[in-house]
Chain A
């Protein structure tokens, strides 16, 4: 009848749209998981890798 119904019919009888609250909470969980890794910073192996390649490039000339 209304647009929401039309929309849910269109998406093949999916359950009702998630509430904003639920979406926000899922988003928070996702970000806290992600940020936990981001906050670990750059592991030494990657800083060393970049510097090694950088050094080789500079020395190698070409």
Chain B
């Protein structure tokens, strides 16, 4: 294997894992998925076109493998809580714990085609075109999945406006309820 190829594969591993966890909702299964993806990719490294996007190539393999093997045996929603939290070394400080947990739960409840579209575009940094290529669908399909994912997330989290966000929400509710 070319040193530049080896570096590109290695460099893609952190975001492959993040994508895999968002698909599986379970870190152990996600890491197995990444491992199987790497084995497949490296066995077929000759079919990688030098100069093209290594991450997109690996994401496509991972996503297809997940679709064909993992979804059958998935326990996404049941497993998503807890295991995910364990892997997170630091909960983002700027948000409340409650809000962050709600967000993860809501994400786990999205249909998987919406979730993967949202993650690819909103977190992995792929363009709509790249995401469409990875998912093997039209660009318009990705756009509508992303829009539906956002709307559904907001519904699941019962967010009507930005005021509803944040750690102060409960405090505010208590204060409002308690009167003066």
Give the complex CA separation of A47 and B11 in angstroms. Answer: 10
Give the complex CA separation of A22 and B38 in angstroms. Answer: 36
B137 within 8 A of A: no
Nearest B-chain residue to A54, judged by Cβ: B1
> Contact partner of A19 among B15, B89, B107, B161, CB < 8 A?
B161
The range of chain B's interface size is 35 or more
Nearest A-chain residue to B88, judged by Cβ: A36
> Contact partner of A50 among B6, B92, B99, B162, CB < 8 A?
B6
Q: What is the interface size of chain A, counting residues whose CB is below 8 A from a CB of the partner?
A: 34
Cβ contact within 8 Å between B18 and A34: yes
**With A14-B151, A27-B122, A50-B38 as contacts: A43 and B95 at CB distance below 8 Å:** no
A4 within 8 A of B: no
Cβ contact within 8 Å between B42 and A53: yes
Cβ contact within 8 Å between A45 and B150: no
A2 within 8 A of B: no
**With A21-B162, A26-B154, A32-B95 as contacts: A47 and B123 at CB distance below 8 Å:** no
8 additional contacts (CB under 8 A) given A30-B118, A46-B10? A29-B103, A30-B123, A34-B124, A38-B17, A38-B18, A43-B31, A45-B35, A47-B13
Q: B-side interface residues toward A, CB under 8 Å?
A: 1, 6, 9-10, 13-15, 17-18, 21-22, 31, 34-35, 38-39, 42, 87-90, 92, 94-95, 99-100, 103-104, 107, 118-119, 122-124, 150-151, 153-155, 159, 161-162, 165
